[in-house]
């Protein structure tokens, strides 16, 4: 049971603390017991406790402010043993050094200063900075599992997602390497994209039409390369289309050969026309000879005609 002086003093300190809280500190008493205060220290930057959330308890005696309180820290920090009384100049371990003018804000500010130092005392432990960082990253989740913390500080009970890099740092590649890899992947995707589109269009149009479209889209790399190699689609119709495409490609790629072929065809046609004329003339001559012979035989065979020699 708090004395009237203790109640009046702690109530005044609570009002002052709420109006002007010290940096990285939060504190409030229980509604049922003003002598039991709960505090939260937020780890300051440039320390292994950065972004840590450390919950603890101050138990004031009924004779406060003439006697100091006991100090405990509940959240594991790598600096103090959890739920253990701490030996500090402003704690009940050293009542002779206590100053009644000190307040809750003074006590917690001194605790934060001692926490960030490497000085050993009763209730402290020794760990590496890496361990302290791990404790800091897990501190909020630890507090969320504490019913007392959730009851007193409901405004702080917001789930947080701790970045994986805090627990397991990863050496990231340089930005230039990332840019080069990204550009290479983009160029490869650009080269492959037209082929994928053409294949998809061929599949949607069916094996026959798709095969013919592939024939027209492909171009030979050289004159000796067969543009129809490796394409089989649509039976005889596809083969005819392939032959027509091959002929058209050959005529387009070799215009001099086309001229030579045309000259050969014209020469062959001229020879054929000459032979046809000779055959017609020969047939006409043969017809006239036969007709003349028939006429003579008719005259010699008629009655009263001239005797044959």
Q: What's the rounded Cα separation, in Å, for the pair 253 and 225?
A: 12
Q: Give per-residue pLDDT as tens, 231-260.
A: 444 445 445 555 555 555 554 545 555 555
pTM: 0.53
- CA 78 to chain CA centroid, Å, is 37
Q: What's the rounded Cα separation, in Å, for the pair 156 and 161?
A: 14
Q: Quick check: is 87 catalytic?
A: yes
Spans of all domains in the chain:
4-167
Q: Give per-residue pLDDT as tens, 12-55.
A: 999 999 999 999 999 999 999 999 999 999 999 999 999 999 99
- CATH fold of the domain at 4-167: Ubiquitin Conjugating Enzyme (3.10.110)
- CA 20 to chain CA centroid, Å, is 47
Beta pairing, strands 53-59 & 36-42: antiparallel
Q: What's the rounded Cα separation, in Å, for the pair 304 and 307?
A: 8
Q: Among all chains, which residue has been given the structure tokens 């994986």?
A: 164
C-beta separation of 125 from 73 below 8 A: no
Q: State the pLDDT confidence band at 274, using cuts at 50, 70 and 90.
A: confident
pLDDT (average), residues 200-210 = 47
- CA 126 to chain CA centroid, Å, is 42
C-beta separation of 77 from 138 below 8 A: no
pLDDT (average), residues 250-277 = 65
User: Is a pLDDT exceeding 60 seen at residue 89?
Assistant: yes
Calculate the dihedral angle through the C-alpha atoms of 268, 273, 278, 281, rounding to the nearest 10 degrees: 170
pLDDT of residue 287: 85
Catalytic residue, chosen from 87, 157, 161, 285, is: 87
Q: What's the rounded Cα separation, in Å, for the pair 148 and 139?
A: 15
C-beta separation of 218 from 212 below 8 A: no
Side-chain-facing half-sphere of 157: CA atoms under 13 Å = 12
């Amino acid at each position: 049971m708090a004395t009237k002086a203790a109640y009046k003093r702690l109530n005044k300190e609570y009002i002052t603390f709420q109006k002007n809280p010290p940096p990285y500190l939060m504190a409030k008493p229980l509604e049922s017991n003003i002598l039991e205060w709960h505090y939260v220290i937020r780890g300051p930057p440039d320390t292994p406790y950065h972004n840590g959330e450390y919950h603890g308890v101050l138990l004031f005696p009924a004779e406060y402010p003439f006697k100091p309180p006991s100090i405990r820290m509940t959240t594991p920090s790598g600096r103090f043993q959890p739920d253990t009384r701490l030996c500090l100049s402003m704690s009940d371990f050293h009542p002779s050094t206590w100053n009644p003018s000190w307040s809750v804000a003074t006590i917690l500010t001194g605790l934060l200063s001692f926490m960030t130092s490497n000085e050993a005392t009763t209730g402290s432990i020794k760990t590496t900075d890496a361990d302290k960082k791990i404790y800091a990253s897990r501190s909020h989740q630890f507090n969320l599992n504490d019913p007392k913390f959730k009851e007193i500080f409901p405004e702080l009970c917001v789930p947080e997602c701790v970045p994986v890099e805090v627990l397991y740092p990863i050496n990231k590649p340089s930005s230039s390497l990332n840019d080069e890899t990204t550009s290479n992947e983009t160029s490869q995707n650009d080269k492959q994209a037209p082929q994928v589109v053409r294949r998809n269009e061929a599949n949607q149009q069916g094996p026959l039409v798709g095969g013919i479209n592939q024939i027209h889209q492909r171009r030979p790399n050289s004159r000796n390369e067969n543009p129809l190699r490796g394409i089989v689609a649509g039976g005889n119709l596809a083969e005819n289309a392939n032959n027509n495409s091959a002929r058209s490609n050959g005529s387009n790629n070799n215009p001099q050969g086309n001229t030579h072929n045309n000259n050969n065809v014209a020469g062959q046609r001229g020879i054929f026309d000459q032979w046809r004329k000779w055959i017609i003339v020969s047939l006409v001559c043969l017809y006239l000879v036969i007709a003349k012979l028939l006429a003579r035989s008719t005259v010699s065979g008629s009655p009263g005609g001239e005797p044959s020699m």
